[in-house]
Amino acid sequence: MSLSDPIADALTVLRNAVRAKKEKADMKSSFLTMEILKVLRREKFIYDYRLIEDKRQGTLRVYLKKAQEPLRRISCIMRVSRPGLRIYTGKDSIPTVLSGLGICILSTPQGVMTGQEAKKKGVGGEVIAKIW
């Protein structure tokens, strides 16, 4: 498991759990990971998440949607910006994912938000991931 990119590790845990049709997934906790999960819950890609306290950094338990449900679920999750190559975008060039069927998650000065929210607020930032 990589120690240099906890966001990529968390997205890989989600991707593997979705492909294996699991109901929940556990990952290491970090502030940015919790903010990404808030966006995914708000956009209804996951049911919920819980922080499980331990004597170290904690564990996040993510409750996923089942494959047979008609609502949005994760079919693909992709890391865009990485430690070796940061990808930034301005407010006028925020990417759309699958013509609006997916979302891109941005880290902006006003917090972590979707691309549509960033367009409405008129801010740009680092493109963290694309999800559809």
Q: Which domains does the chain have, with CATH numbers?
A: 6-64 (3.30.1370.30), 77-131 (3.30.1490.10)
Q: What is the reported pLDDT for 65?
A: 79
Q: Which residue has the tokens 């492909």?
A: 19
**Residue 16 pLDDT grade (very low, low, confident, very high; cuts 50, 70, 90):** very high
Which residues are CB-contacts of 83 (< 8 A; sequence separation ≥ 6)? 4, 5
Tokens of 117: 């929210």
Q: What is the reported pLDDT for 1?
A: 53
| Biggest CA pair distance of the chain | 44
Q: How many helices (H) and strands (E) does the chain have?
A: 3, 8
DSSP assignment letter at 79 = E
Residue 2 has pLDDT above 90, yes or no: no
Nearest to 39 by CA among 115, 122, 124: 115
**Residue 67 pLDDT grade (very low, low, confident, very high; cuts 50, 70, 90):** low
Segment 70-124, tens digit of pLDDT? 666 788 999 999 999 999 999 999 999 999 899 999 999 999 999 999 999 999 9
Q: Is 57 in contact with 29 (CB distance < 8 Å)?
A: yes
Report the percentage of the chain scoring pLDDT > 90: 83
**Lowest-pLDDT range of 24-28, 67-71, 95-99:** 67-71
